[in-house]
Amino acid sequence: MTDQEILAGLAEIIDEIAGVPADEVTPDKSFVDDLDIDSLSMVEIAVAAQDKFGVEIPDEQLKDLKTVQDVINFVSKNS
């Protein structure tokens, strides 16, 4: 899966769960500071990402996924 495909899939999830329009989900964005996503929604996003990309995201890794790029890197490394 290319980074672009991961980004598109992640943007779809974030739109569904947090209502952030896909074009605002860019690699440099921070979930908390830029996209206004709280810790509860982040849990939902992580679960949806695990299902969509077929990866395991352990809790200790989840807390380090602060930006969209962090998730892209994690998925491309682990899928």
| Binding footprint of other proteins on the chain (CB under 8 A) | 17-19, 40-41, 43-44, 47
Q: Which two tokens stand for residue 35?
A: 């996209």
Q: Out of 3, 36, 38, 51, which one is annotated catalytic?
A: 38
Q: Name the residue among 31, 2, 1 with its Cα closest to residue 13.
A: 31
Q: Is 38 a catalytic residue?
A: yes
Residue whose CB is less far from other proteins, 19 or 54? 19
Nearer to other proteins, 4 or 58 (CB): 58
Q: Which residues are catalytic?
A: 38
